[in-house]
Amino acid sequence: MLFCWTVMLCATATQAEKRPWSETMVRQPNLWATRMNEAVVGGDAGGLRVEVAPDRKWAIAAVENVLLPENVGAISLRVREISPSGKWLMRLWGEVRGRGRAMTTSVAERERRVGEVVFEPDPRTLRMPSRPPVQVQLGIEGEPGDYVVFEALDFVPTEPRPKSGPIPGQIAIDAVELMPNLPQPDKMLDWRAKAQAYDRLVFDWEAKGEHLPLIGLDEGRINVDRPTFGLPSYVGDTRLLGSNQESITAMGAVVGATVARYATRYARALGKWMLNLANAARLFYPNALPKDHQCCGDWKGDPEGVIAYEGLRHHVGDKSPFATGDPVVMKWGPKTDLGLYGSGCVGLLGGIVQTTNVEAILRLDCLATDFHRAPKCFALRWNRSPGRTPCSRRLRAGSSSPRGRCGCRAKAAWSSATSPRTRCMRGRKRRGYPSSGHPRTTPTGTQWTGTGG
């Protein structure tokens, strides 16, 4: 209801003259003329006071048509005081992504912190040179009479992230361009080992402990005339038993889909996206975060940390990041937020992401989960380091062969971020390139290797 009221009132608010944001605005209550849900708004030179009206549960004060600085990198907000049961919020409404469509962007929700709080907004927002006007919202949730006093608010600009120049034959994706070439910290998990450990726990019929075993027998014979297995959507989930299951939980554990290899124009974007995905996905796992940065750190049934949380929040209070989900906070039945329906897809990363002998270069096996391999089979290397890096086609011990499963001669093509052209090779030794298994120099960017006719 709170969100619906916000959208409705924003859409019907009276348009005012566009004004550049100034940190003094938070100390001018008269500028916050849009007062949602009969918000009681006051204050003085010491700050903006927002109070919940009688018979209400929330209040928002907003200032219209604000021009934010270019390339906002941080939002600094200082709260002077808040009532004992209130929880403050901050939102922006407008074309915050520069796509011509107004939307609500939550900066902070249900906060209790006082003093200075700094937020780093999603880099896909608030970094448009066109600077469309937005509505700035400050508010509080609570009982009638609950209040909050905002003392200061500032939008801190940052240097725009440099973009790669156009590469012939490649299509850039804006959201991927915003991702770093070298994510920090750079901590790549062994996804093959993680997937195998997941299978050992989830498919163990003899597992002992709280909420174990996870696997169960399904004798409903609904889809096939034989007994089969079932998996809960969450650890500690007793809602779906017997034949009443979510299919994605079991499908993710045994079936996958490949990295797209049929549109090579997306090779560079795909390589960079997979690098950031494979590096950051570790934060969904319990053993990657301190106990106080996750909601279910007390469960002891997963010592290897192979079942991931349903979701990851940028922050909860002063904890960032924070692994969580919906079931516990919404109290809908499951005892944890550890989700098997998402964790089961770890096999996709385990089959696709491989390390090479060079730490800065990944090899993505685009055949691992592809059932339609003809006529050509490809692997993709993404070089995330600057310059040219010697790289062997041989993988580290335990990784699968880079020749692919067709067993045919290798072919290769690559697009380089340092080269204005795309080149193709029709044979392994053409143009002086060594045969499979010998070191080669990989330019910054992407490299395809292929097998088959």
Least confident residue range of 57-71, 123-137, 337-351: 123-137
Q: What pLDDT sits at residue 36?
A: 96
- Asked which of 115, 131, 157 is the last residue of a domain, the reply is 157
Q: What pLDDT sits at residue 402?
A: 35
- Asked which of 157, 187, 221 is the last residue of a domain, the reply is 157
The per-residue pLDDT for range 163-220, each reduced to its tens digit, is: 667 778 888 877 788 788 878 888 888 888 998 898 889 888 899 999 999 988 888 7
- Asked which of 157, 179, 208 is the last residue of a domain, the reply is 157
CATH assignment at residue 436: 2.60.40
pLDDT band per the 50, 70, 90 thresholds, residue 373: low
**pTM of structure:** 0.61
Please give the tally of structural domains in the chain.
2
Q: Which domain holds residue 391?
A: 355-451
Domain-located, residue 227 = no
Domain-located, residue 77 = yes
Domain-located, residue 378 = yes
Domain-located, residue 284 = no
Domain-located, residue 251 = no
Distance between CA atoms of residues 221 and 264, nearest Å: 43
Greatest mean pLDDT among 69-83, 137-151, 156-170, 323-337: 137-151
Q: Average of pLDDT values for 345-359? A: 82
Q: What pLDDT sits at residue 8?
A: 43
Domain-located, residue 431 = yes
Determine the angle formed by the axes of helices 191-202 and 247-254, rounding to 10 degrees.
130
Q: What pLDDT sits at residue 50?
A: 97
CATH assignment at residue 41: 2.60.120
Domain-located, residue 200 = no
**pLDDT above 70 as % of the chain:** 69
Domain-located, residue 93 = yes
